[in-house]
């Protein structure tokens, strides 16, 4: 039987515990993988604990593979391993299609680990509005330590030319890209503890398209000689970002 006054002791001073006022903190303590940047409202995520079948699989050629992997993970037990063979054009890609959303500022967050320095790690977020397609993306060149975003003009704009990460299957790096789909402009990019204002740039505007939807894709792509492995975990899509 509960004792005291509602909410039954929560308002009373205690020596060892204090009530959790933030629901995001409560979720994190209960095991949610959404702990890196808690702004926005999460509308979809995958932590790969149930396999990789929520994504379509696309490979560049024979020898490129996408596997459900227990060798490495950020949260839980499993991750998605993107293996690109040692060849020009090699790539392993996972793709997810989401229904056309109520537009606002959207976030795409994911974490990756790699023991190699021979690949590009790329994340795309596309908005197809039925008339035009808008392509936003972030690319990290592991070997060159270059961080770039995509605006449709080559070369991709450089955001950071000296972003050093730990190269290990157990050293995860978290990336969050925020795009305002109302104005079709970039907002910000966060990589680990680094914050970048990218509001001077816009996603590529191309088309035409006839299938309204929101699409995300994660790439492990060959860049320099050597086979590559990229482990992806905790892919999160959010809306109503500040």
Q: Output the tens digit of pLDDT for each of the chain's 242 residues.
A: 455 455 555 555 566 655 666 666 666 666 667 777 889 999 999 999 999 999 999 999 999 999 999 999 999 999 999 999 999 999 999 999 999 999 999 999 999 999 999 999 999 999 999 999 999 999 999 999 999 999 999 999 999 999 999 999 999 999 999 999 999 999 999 999 999 999 999 999 998 887 999 999 999 999 999 989 999 999 999 999 99
The span from the CA of 110 to the CA of 76, in Å, is 15
CATH of 42-239, one of 3.90.1150.10, 2.60.120.10, 2.60.120.200, 1.20.1250.20: 2.60.120.200
Taking residue 39's Cβ as centre, other Cβ atoms within 10 Å add up to 15
């Amino acid at each position: 039987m509960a004792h005291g006054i509602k909410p039954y002791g929560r308002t009373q001073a205690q020596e060892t515990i204090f009530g959790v006022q933030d629901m995001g903190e409560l979720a994190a303590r209960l095991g949610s993988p959404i702990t890196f940047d808690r702004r926005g409202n999460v509308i979809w995520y995958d932590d790969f604990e149930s396999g990789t079948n929520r994504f379509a699989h696309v490979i560049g050629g024979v020898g490129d593979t996408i596997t459900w992997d227990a060798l490495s993970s950020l949260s839980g037990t499993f991750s998605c391993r993107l293996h690109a063979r040692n060849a020009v054009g090699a790539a392993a890609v996972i793709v997810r299609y989401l229904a056309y959303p109520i537009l606002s500022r959207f976030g795409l967050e994911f974490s990756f680990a790699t023991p190699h320095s021979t690949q590009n790690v790329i994340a795309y977020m596309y908005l197809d509005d039925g008339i035009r397609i808008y392509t936003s993306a972030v690319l990290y060149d592991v070997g060159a330590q270059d961080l770039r975003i995509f605006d449709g003009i080559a070369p991709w704009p450089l955001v950071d030319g000296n972003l050093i990460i730990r190269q290990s299957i157990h050293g995860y790096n978290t990336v969050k890209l925020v795009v305002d789909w109302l104005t079709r402009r970039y907002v910000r990019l966060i990589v680990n503890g680094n914050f970048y204002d990218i509001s001077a740039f816009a996603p590529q505007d191309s088309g035409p398209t006839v299938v309204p939807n929101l699409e995300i894709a994660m790439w492990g792509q060959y860049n320099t000689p050597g086979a590559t492995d990229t482990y992806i975990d905790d892919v999160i899509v959010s809306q109503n970002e500040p």
